[in-house]
A and B are shown apart, each in its own frame.
Chain A
Amino acid sequence: MAQHTLDQAPVPASPGAGALSPGTSSHRPPGRLRRALRSVVPGPTADAGGAALYRRWWLPWLWMAPAIVGTTVFGVFPFLNTLLVSFTDAKPLGGTYNLVGLDNYTRMFGDSDFWLATRNSVLYAVIVVPLMILLPLLLAILVEKNLPGIGFFRSAFYTPVLASSVVVGLSWQWLLSDQGLANTWLEKAHIIREAIPFLSDSWLILLSAMGLTIWKGLGWYMIFYLAALGNVPKELHEAAAVDGAGSIRRFWHITVPGVRQSMMLVGTLTGIGSLRVFTEIYMLGGSTGGPGGADRTLPFYIRDVGLDPLTGNAGYGAAVSVALFALTLGLTLLAQRLTKEDES
C-alpha cells in the first residue's frame, strides 16, 4: 500500500496544486476549491524506481471511469447478457419471460433458415476474403509509383469508402436493376437479349452484394497496403529486374512475401467483416433479405427473429447471436493459427 504512505506527504509537494499558479501556491494553505481540485487532478509522485505513483489510488480510476463503464456496460456485459437471454423466451418489447433451457439451441440446430443464413455468411467470407486480399494489393501497386496526378487517383479510389452503405447500395440498386445501366449497356452491346435479374434471383443478389462489399472496401485496403508496400525494399525489385525477372515473377517472389503479414491481417479483418454483412443485403435484396429471405445473412437473421417488435423472440435471437460469435471466434483463432504457422 505504497500509495497510502505517499498520500500523507507534505501538502506543498503536490505538483497538482502548484500547477495552477506556480510560485504563489506553496506559501498559501490550500483553499477548499484547491483541495477539491487536487483530489480530482491526479498528481504523480516519484517512487524509488522512478515510476510515478498516484497520491490517491482512485484518481486514475476516476479518469478511466467513463471508458470503463462504456466498454463494460455496452461491450462486455451485452455479451454475457446475450448468453443468459439465449436460455429464455424474452420478447424484444419486454414483459414476462421464462427460462426455457436449451430449447432455443435445439430449435436453432433444426432451423433450416438458420442454416441458410449461416451458409450465406460463410459463403460470403469464402468468396470475399481471397478477392479482398488480392485486389486491393494490385490496386496499391498500381498507385504506388509517384506519377503526376496519382494523388487524385488515390483519393478517387477512396471515395466509395466515404459513402454510407445505404448510398452505395442505392447506387448499385439502380445500376443493376432490369432497366439499370448495367443491363442497358449489355443489351446495347448485344451481349444479352434479356435483362439479367441481378436483383430478383437469390444467387445473383448474393453475388451482387459481395461485389458491392468488395467495391466499397477496395479503397480502404488499398491505403492499408500502400503503407506496407513502402516497407518492401526497392533494391530487391531492381536487383530482380536486372536478373531478368518479369513483373509477375517479382510480384510473387518479392512483393507478396514482403507484405505477407499485411495480407494475413487483411484476410482476418475482411473475414470478420464478411460475417457482419447486413446493409448490402438489405439494400439489394430488400427488407425481406432476398426472395423469401433466401439471401439473409446471420446478422440479418438475428434482426428478423430476435428484434421484430411483433413476432420477435429475443431469446432465440440471442441464441443465433451466440452462434455468430462462435463463428467469428473460430475464424479469428484460425487466422491466428495460420499467421503463427506462417511465421515459423
Chain B
Amino acid sequence: MTTAVDKPRRLMPRWRDYGRPRELVLRYLLLVFVLFITVGPLLWQLLSSLKGPTEDVFGSGASLFPHHPSLRAYRQVFDQVPVWTYIRNSFFVAVISIASQLVFSTMAGYMLSKPGWKGRKLVWVVLMASMMFPFESIMVSLFLSIRDLGLVDNLVGVWLPGFVAAINVLIMRAAFLAVPREIEDAAMLDGAGEWKRFRYLYLPSAYGAILVVTINTFISAWDDFLWPLIVLRTEDHFTLTLGLSRLQSSSFGYDQRLVMAGSVISVIPVLVLFIITQRWFYKGVSSGAVKL
C-alpha cells in the first residue's frame, strides 16, 4: 500500500469494516466452494485439453493439472476436424442475425414508441402473441416452412425464423420511450426530421439497449443447438455446437483432449464478449423479464 492510503481519512476500507472476522471467513469459504462447483467442470475441461498425449485424462491415474502442458490437442483438432468451417458457419449465422435483429427491432421499436398512428394496438397484440408459443411447440411447422422455401441444410434456413424477435422490439421500444420528450421537441424546433432524430438522437441514446440486443442475439445464435440440428444435414454446413456434438459420438471421441479443445475454442468468443461488455450482460438478464 502506498502512503496515500494512510492519510487521516482512510480511502481504502479495512477488513474489519466488512463485518465480523468469523462471518467473513465463512462467506469466503462458501464463495470458494460455489466457485469450485460452478467453474470447476469448465476449468477441468480447459486443463484436460492442455494435457500431453501421454497423460491420462480419465480414471484414477489422471491428475487434475497437466504435467506436460501442450497445445497439441488444439493443433490436432484443427487438422483433423473442419473446425474452421464450423466457426465460419456459426459466425455467419450470428452476424446476419445481429444485423437483421438490430435494424428491424430498432425500426419497429422506434415506431412503437411513437404515439399518433392507428393500429399500434394490433401490432402490440401480434408481437405479444408471437412470444406466447415456445419454439419447441412450433418447430415442426417451422421446419415445414423452411422445407417449402428450399432452405433445408442451408445456413439461411437456420437464421430466417429468428431474423427479428418480438422481445428485442420491446426492449428497443422501452429504451426509446426513455428518451425525454423535451430533447426531441428541441431537435424538432432545430429542424431535425424524423430520420435525423431517429439516427442522431434516438439511436445514440439507446446504445445500452442496442448492446443488450446484440449480446443476446449473438449468444443465442452461437449457442443454439436444436434448430441447427433439425435444419442442417451435411458437415460442410454444421455450426460449431453441432460439430462439437458430433465430435463426441464420432471416432474422434476416443481422444477426449480433442473434444475438450473444441469446447474451449467454442467458448472463447462468448467469453471475450463477456469480459468486454460485462455490465450489459447483466442488463440483458433483467430485460429478459419483459418476456412475461
Contact = CB atoms under 8 A, between A and B. Distances in A.
A68 B266 CA distance: 33
B225 A321 contact: no
B144 A85 contact: yes
B129 A76 contact: yes
A70 B191 CA distance: 34
Interface in A152-181: 153, 155-160, 162-175, 177, 179-181
A79 B169 contact: no
B70 interface: no
B200 to A, nearest CB: 10
Interface in B158-181: 160-166, 169
Contacts, number: 325
A165 B41 contact: no
Contact of B138 (A82, A157, A174): A82
B140 to A, nearest CB: 4
A64 interface: yes
Contacts of A28: none
Interface in B32-76: 34-35, 37-39, 41-42, 44-45, 48, 57-60, 62
Contacts of B156: none
B223 A93 contact: no
A51 B115 CA distance: 6
Contacts of A68: 108, 123, 126
B267 A162 contact: yes
A216 to B, nearest CB: 9
B42 A303 contact: no
A171 B42 contact: yes
Contacts of A93: 147
B136 A70 contact: no
Interface stretch (A54-62, A123-131, A200-208, A251-259): A54-62
Contact of B263 (A22, A77, A171, A269): A171
B263 A318 contact: no
A321 B142 CA distance: 12
Contacts of A39: none
B91 interface: no
Interface string A252-283: 00000000000001001100100110110011
Interface string A322-336: 101100110010000
B193 A276 contact: no
Interface stretch (B1-9, B77-85, B204-212, B243-251): B243-251
B41 A159 contact: no
Nearest to A72: B126
A175 B44 contact: yes
B98 interface: no
B62 to A, nearest CB: 7
Interface in A183-207: 184, 187-188
Nearest to B193: A19
Contacts of B274: 155, 158-159, 162
Interface string A119-161: 0000000000000000000010011010110000101111110
Contact of A307 (B24, B139, B222): B139
Contacts of A99: none
Nearest to B62: A184
A164 B266 contact: yes
A82 B140 contact: yes
Chief secondary structure at chain B's binding surface: helix
B31 A167 contact: no
A209 interface: no
A337 to B, nearest CB: 14
B270 interface: yes
A167 B115 contact: no
A67 B104 contact: yes
A322 B137 contact: yes
B44 A181 contact: yes
A138 B137 CA distance: 33
Given A63-B111, A66-B107, A67-B108, A157 B35 contact: yes
Contact of A57 (B19, B118, B285): B118
Contacts of B19: 145
Nearest to A139: B34
Given A162-B267, A275-B134, A307-B230, A70 B58 contact: no
Contact of A219 (B38, B144, B267): B38
A167 B263 contact: yes
B144 A92 contact: yes
Given A64-B108, A78-B142, A219-B38, 20 more contacts: A19-B193, A22-B192, A41-B195, A51-B116, A71-B169, A75-B129, A77-B141, A93-B147, A147-B27, A147-B28, A163-B42, A165-B223, A174-B48, A174-B57, A175-B41, A265-B292, A269-B291, A299-B226, A303-B230, A332-B292
